[in-house]
Chain A
Amino acid sequence: MNSRFRILFCLFLSALASRVAYAQCDPVFKHPLSQRPANYEIHASLDDATHSLDATQTIRFVNTSPVPVGELRMYLYLNAFKNTNSSFLKGATKIFGQSYLNRPADEWGWIDVRTIRREGGADLTKNMKFICPDDWNPDDQSVLQIPLDRPILPGETAVFQLDWRAKMPKTISRAGHSKDFYMFCHWFPQLGVFEQNRAGEWGWNCHQFFRTTEFYADFGVYDVHITLDPKFVMGASGCLVSEKNNDNGTITRHYHAEDVIDFAWSVYPRFQVWEDRWKTVQIRLLVPPEHRALAPRYLHALKYALSYLEEHVGKYPYPGITVVDPPFHGLHSGLMEYPTLITVGTFYGMPRSLRMTESLVVHEFVHQYFMGMVASNEKEEAWLDEGFVTYFEDRIIDAAFGQKSSLVDVFGYSFDNRELTRLEYTTMANPREGAPDRPGWFFSESNFKALIYSKPATTLRTLQELVGEAEMDRIIKAYFEQWKFRHPRGTDFMATLKSQLLARQDAARAMQLYHLVETGIFQAVVLDYAVTHISNDELPAPQGIYGKTESVFEYQDGSGQRTLLSKVELQRKGDWVFPVEVLITFEDGSTKLMHWSGEEGSHTFEFMGSHKIVSAQIDPGLKIGLDVDLNNNSMTLQPAASPGWKYAAKAVFWVQNLMQSSSFFL
């Protein structure tokens, strides 16, 4: 091979390598997965010294509705961190346990749209105004309204050019910076969703930003060009398409993402990048050096989740997923989901027996399905993504690490994800506080987790236990396939549920199961059944004259065999009616499975026979996790003595140790 050819060959190989590197994450779909009504091209420059962004932005909005669109409404959510009068910060002194008071001026955040022009049309800048459609707070600037010079007709595409500047706050509620770590989320002017409301009227669904609400936007294509100091290691939604070194020492990175509802990115000079692959999905994990020992745990859990969800829900269609593990000082940016980018959170030295690391990454990844693809409205019906995500988080973690010990397993003290989810709901001081199906701003910080995450997840889990995992998967798959890359409402899920149940169960049972889920989501009642009494009374043997006519009269003297009248008394202590099974066990080992509708407040089963009842158990399969007290679901007349003595022995031992240890101090 001559030298010239060798040089050309080497050049060819290096070019091929760079193409391969980018081709490992190919962001372009052969066919659109969604209608793509909202498309963005953003050119932004990060000034690290002032923590600010200067940007130009093009929005291509396609009116996919049958009505003209006369205005635009956009989220300017960084303005939620502008001052204490915003609807987000009003009335609170801490966000996620972090005080934001006494901040100097440069630690607050904002976004300012300087100009907006319509391509081939007017300058709309003077038309812009902030609106507050939810709480009428005139100081809130999280929603911008731009009346148009002329409406966008059905099927028409309108292009808008924006010029804006943003200041990132010191991290509040995920967005912002902590030292030289940045998390850019809800960082650009983003359109709401133009859709029909529940009354059938077309309009913008574009709510203000509140502490207990998340996000809702439409699908589209994102081309994002970020210019910044090359010292920053970067992770973003979508795929890295190109990098260009600029003459002024900065670097411009171009990311492309298709059929997503949002775009987020994060930078930090100290990130270490771990790259891995699961089938065709490129995994990019960014961890600070002090967390590198935890990287294999993240990757293992993520790949398990990818595999599990493909099997039980549907295919993950995107070419990549980026996982950002913030440094500890930036942890307020953690634990959040964005399309093809999730933020997690952990701590140096997190032991293997505490699986919060795995649980978090799984939870945020499942959001790619419920929120990312099945893009329900997180503000108005947060349960519709959080409930499903928590439900699948439980399934995945328990499948990966074993029931009863999947989340915590330390020296014999253990519990699993599913238990924790149920207990978060059942241990509410007042489980009747409200139904899960309410807009997010109606929840308080003390009850939203239990009612939005835990109760819906426990409801879904109960349904799964009653219909079986295979049937549950069919229901979920049907819902996913029907509603991916669309915006379902809770009623849409319920409709899918009903049709799937009716297709495979008898009508009465199907409607019972449907009403179970309906009650769990749309009502605030409590399910609690109890066995309250078991009795076995001996009836005297027959005595007296028996027979229809005198000719066949027979005298019984009472010396014959006695009969037992056994009773089991049940009570419905809650106000949630659901039919239950009751397993009665007799002293000879025989059992009877009874059914109770639960409609009356109490019920008694009676048996005549020769064997005593020794125990009764409502819901013997322990399928109804929604029951707030499982201990009263059963009763036995032959209580085991051993558990009591076991804990007596333990208590004695630990008190002795406490006494010994306290002697040390005196």
Chain B
Amino acid sequence: MIRVLSRAFTTGMQQWRIALIVYVIQLCLALPIGMEVRNVLVASIGNSLEFNKLLGHYDHTVFSDFLKVHGASITPLIGQLRWLFLVWVLFSVFTDAGLLNGVTTSGPIRGRVFWEGGACYFFPFLKIGLILLVLWLVWTVVIFLPVVLLVLPALENSVTEIGPVWTFLGLLGLYVAGLLFIQVWSVVSRLQHIRTSASVRLSLQTGLRILNRHKGKLMLFMLAFFAVQVLLFAIYWWLESHSGMITPILIVIFFAIQQAFAFFRIQLRQMAYAGIALMTE
């Protein structure tokens, strides 16, 4: 496992160009939203002295008064986000295909590997993704329907709320484990498709077989990467709540930290793919 982690880390670091391409695409999609948020705020309350308070800290009064009076101005933003999400979902199939193609290619990695992979495997990966998305929805219903039907009523009927609370947390843990399983199956299936050019159905079947054979290692591996991301989030959140973007210099510094974080998350995904590819060779 240590060897796999180490090689995965190295692969991720070496393929930084591919990660950079994905990052740039992501940034290009996110930037207009950020600018729109700024424009809406500035147009609505930018000339108010209250606006300055937002530099120092979150101000509930300023935001609430803004939403009450100018709430309609963020409706177009919500619409934009919906379209962005749809566009990104399609893009992410493409970018994932590029990333996976990168981790299965030996030798020097250029951006061409990414684009070729994305173009070549977009449609098969879209099919795999949609099938597993349906599975994810089914899994969500399987877990949360009992929550709604049994756990929530149990809150009112149990002697204490401790049982329902821990049951819910347990179900949540199970849900996350299920999500990780589906994600690993997705990755393994796609890797199989790249390696063997098998059909989507066969890739899924083989992927499941391989996953079952190595499920302990693979699940642990994915859990580790998931935990690292949660940890990084917590560190960032703590840093921002303690220090905060309270001066122009700190805004720039934190923006840089944010973007480094966003870039590193892509690299983490690459590392995860590389590790899975190594474990399923």
Contacts and interface: CB of A to CB of B under 8 A. Distances in A.
Interface of A: 179, 270, 288-290, 327-329, 347-349, 404, 411-415, 419-420, 422-423, 426-427, 615, 617, 628-637, 639-640, 642-653, 655-660, 662-666
Given A348-B165, A631-B69, A666-B133, A644 B42 contact: yes
Contacts of B49: 615, 617, 634-636
Contacts of A643: 41, 51-55
A640 B30 CA distance: 23
Contacts of B68: 426-427, 628-629
B179 interface: yes
A636 B47 contact: yes
B48 interface: yes
A634 B262 contact: no
Nearest to B34: A652
Given A327-B160, A647-B41, A651-B37, A635 B133 contact: no
A652 B54 CA distance: 17
Interface stretch (B6-14, B86-94, B111-119, B212-220): B86-94
Contacts of A665: 133, 136, 183
Contacts of B89: 662, 666
Interface in B90-140: 92-93, 95-96, 129-130, 132-133, 136
A413 B58 contact: yes
Contact of B69 (A629, A634, A658, A664): A629
A411 B234 CA distance: 9
Q: Chain B contact residues: over half helix, strand or loop, or mixed?
A: helix
B197 to A, nearest CB: 21
A640 B261 CA distance: 27
A637 B38 CA distance: 18
B17 interface: no
A327 B160 CA distance: 7
B48 A631 contact: yes
A634 B62 CA distance: 12
Contacts of A420: 60
Contacts of B259: 653
B43 to A, nearest CB: 10
Contacts of B31: 652
Contacts of B266: 660
Q: Which 3 A-B pairs have the closest CB atoms?
A: A412-B241, A415-B60, A652-B34
B165 A630 contact: no
A270 B160 CA distance: 10
A662 B160 contact: no
B275 to A, nearest CB: 16
B202 interface: no
B51 A631 contact: yes
Given A329-B158, A636-B49, A656 B27 contact: yes
Interface string B57-86: 111111011101100000000000100110
Contacts, number: 200
A534 to B, nearest CB: 9
Q: Which of B49, B159, B248 has the most CB of A within 10 A?
A: B49
A290 B163 CA distance: 10
Contact of A631 (B37, B45, B261): B45
Given A412-B58, A663-B88, 10 more contacts: A412-B57, A412-B240, A419-B61, A427-B68, A642-B251, A647-B54, A649-B251, A653-B261, A657-B262, A666-B132
A646 B60 contact: no
Nearest to B255: A649
Interface string B234-255: 0001101100110110010011
Contact of A414 (B52, B58, B165): B58
B62 A631 contact: yes
Given A426-B68, A645-B251, A655 B92 contact: no
A411 B242 CA distance: 8
A664 B34 CA distance: 23
Contacts of B160: 288-290, 327-328, 348
Nearest to B59: A404
Contacts of B165: 348-349
Contacts of B30: 651-652, 655-656, 659
A270 B136 CA distance: 42
Contacts of B261: 653
B237 A412 contact: yes
Contact of A630 (B50, B133, B157, B269): B50
B92 A639 contact: no
Contacts of B258: 649, 652-653, 656
Given A412-B244, A666-B129, A666-B133, A655 B58 contact: no
A652 B33 contact: yes
A635 B259 CA distance: 34
Nearest to B265: A660
B61 A422 contact: yes
B262 A639 contact: no
B150 interface: no
Contacts of B240: 411-412
Given A639-B47, A643-B55, A411 B238 contact: yes
9 contacts: A404-B59, A427-B68, A615-B49, A631-B66, A642-B251, A644-B41, A646-B55, A665-B183, A666-B133
Contacts of A662: 85, 88-89, 92
A411 B30 CA distance: 23
A144 B227 CA distance: 65
B131 to A, nearest CB: 10
A631 B57 contact: no
B281 interface: no
A412 B242 CA distance: 8
B142 interface: no
A660 B23 CA distance: 10
Contact of B55 (A615, A629, A640, A664): A640
B246 to A, nearest CB: 9
A408 to B, nearest CB: 8
Which of A349, A615, A655, A664 has the most chain B CB atoms inside 10 A of its CB?
A655
B149 interface: no
Interface centre among A404, A419, A651, by most chain B C-beta atoms within 10 angstroms, is A651
B57 A414 contact: yes
B46 interface: yes
Contacts of A630: 50, 61-62, 65
Given A631-B50, A649-B258, A663-B92, A644 B248 contact: no
A420 B64 CA distance: 10
Given A329-B159, A423-B60, A629 B65 contact: yes
A649 B37 CA distance: 9
B46 A666 contact: no
B26 interface: yes
Contacts of A290: 160-162
Contacts of A651: 30, 33-34, 37-38
Contacts of A632: 48, 69
Nearest to B61: A419
Contacts of B60: 414-415, 419-420, 423
Contact of A664 (B53, B58, B179, B262): B179
Nearest to A620: B49
A653 B238 CA distance: 16
Of A328, A413, A422, A660, the most chain B CB neighbours within 10 A belong to: A660
Contacts of A657: 262, 265
Interface string B147-161: 000000001111111
A648 B35 contact: yes
Contact of A649 (B62, B69, B84, B245): B245
B65 A426 contact: yes
Contacts of B50: 630-631, 633-634
B32 to A, nearest CB: 9
B198 interface: no
B29 interface: yes
Nearest to A178: B156
Nearest to B247: A642
A117 to B, nearest CB: 43
Nearest to A643: B54
